[in-house]
Amino acid sequence: MVSFLNGKSPFDEAEEKLEAGETVNGRPKMPTGPIMGWQDGVFLLVVIALIVGGYQYYQYAKKKSAETFAACNSMYELAVAGEAAKYLEAETCYEGTWDLGFVSDSMEVLRQDRLGAITDMRSAQKDLLQDAKDALEDGDTAKATTIVKEYNGAMFLTRDDKKHWESIAAIAK
């Protein structure tokens, strides 16, 4: 046990009293002082406060993570239901979850799955854009415009790629 009783052990005091001749029934009289000093009490309160505070923060972080993932999930579900523009919002939301203080294994798997699906859709649209560019290079504007017209998903392309996409779409008009 940690004690701050001026560097003396209660047993040291008992030895001193035994040497001085103080005994009870032939045995040394044990000290009857306090078990803990005020410093021990303060230390114990600080330890308890740290434990309770850590638990409260854990619960807060867990709740905040669950709420954030629920919001991201609802955006993704809306995108799947037909609002294709929500894919980009869901991607931004899921990217924001990297800074959360608590992410369970199931949340991590969900995040990786959803971000992977969005990345796959972006790659598919980039492939379509490359096919349309190749068709334009070959002089087949009809094929290029058909590729662009038939795509009805969300716009995942970067600004420069989006300009190329729109220029090919403008040819069709």
pLDDT tens digit string along 21-67?
Answer: 666 565 655 666 677 788 888 999 999 999 999 999 999 999 999 99
Only one residue has tokens 């009805």, namely: 152
- How much is the pTM? 0.68
Instruction: Read off the pLDDT of each residue in 146-168 and give the average, rounded to a whole number.
Output: 84
Condensed to tens digits (0 to 9), the pLDDT of residues 61-71 reads 999 999 999 99
For 9-42, b/e burial (b = at least 16 CB within 10 A) is eeeebbeebeeeeeeeeeebeebeeeeeeeebee
